[in-house]
Amino acid sequence: MAGKSSASSGKRGRSAITGRFVKQSAVRRSPSTTVNESASKKPKKK
């Protein structure tokens, strides 16, 4: 399941029930059971 996700906008959708990642289309369809998380860009340690 290690495919490229549609997180180009920096947001990830997650189901509030199962905790699994969902597509942005599912977030728009079910706003009461999903949440958008912003993907933080952590700087790499050197």
Percent of the chain residues past pLDDT 90, beyond the cut = 52
**What is the span of the domain harbouring residue 30?**
11-37
**pLDDT of the residue at 10:** 79
Domain count, the chain: 1
Give the residue-averaged pLDDT of 20-25. Answer: 93
The pLDDT tens digits of the residues spanning 3-18 come to: 555 545 678 999 999 9
For residue 5, is it within any domain?
A: no
Burial of residue 15, with CB atoms counted within 10 A of its CB: 0-12 exposed, 13-18 middle, 19 or more buried: middle
Give domain status of residue 46, yes or no.
no
pLDDT at residue 9, as a whole number: 66
Residue 7 tokens read as: 């997180």
Please list, in sequence order, all residues whose beta carbon lies within 8 angstroms of the beta carbon of residue 26, skipping any fewer than 6 positions away. 13, 15, 34
pTM of the model: 0.57
**Residue at 44 is within a domain:** no
Both tokens of 22, joined, read 């969902």
Confidence at residue 4, expressed as pLDDT on a 0 to 100 scale: 53
Q: What pLDDT is stored for residue 7 in this prediction? A: 45
